[in-house]
Amino acid sequence: MRFIDKPANETPAGIWSVPLESPLTEPVLLTERIELSTAGPDFLVETTGNTTVIERLADGERWTVPAQGRTVRVSRGRNRIAW
């Protein structure tokens, strides 16, 4: 489960995660970027002006795609995008 939180004064606000199968597990910070445009649990979509960038959360790798500032959806197989 993912949620937006700032659990303590010394921790950043961001998107935090807890596995559904272990709900009492300590939350893990996924990213400090809070965005409305998400492309599923593994990616964030950043839209700025006429630029769309997809970021893979696992390693931070980023790709600029020709969606001209629109948000995108990533296919289940993670090999296609649509906008």
Q: Which residues pair with 81 in a beta bridge?
A: 74
Q: Reply yes or no on whether the pLDDT at 18 is more than 80.
A: yes
Residue owning tokens 């649990």 = 41
Q: DSSP code of 49? A: T
- 79: enclosing H helix or E strand: none
Q: What is the tens place of the pLDDT at every residue in 28-59?
A: 888 787 765 555 678 888 888 899 998 888 89
Q: What is the tens place of the pLDDT at every residue in 1-15?
A: 888 899 889 999 988
Q: Quick check: pTM over 0.75? A: no
Q: DSSP code of 38? A: B
Residue pair 67/83 in contact (Cβ under 8 Å)? The answer is yes
Using alpha carbons, list the distances in angstroms from residue 66 to 24, 33, 69, 71: 41, 22, 8, 11
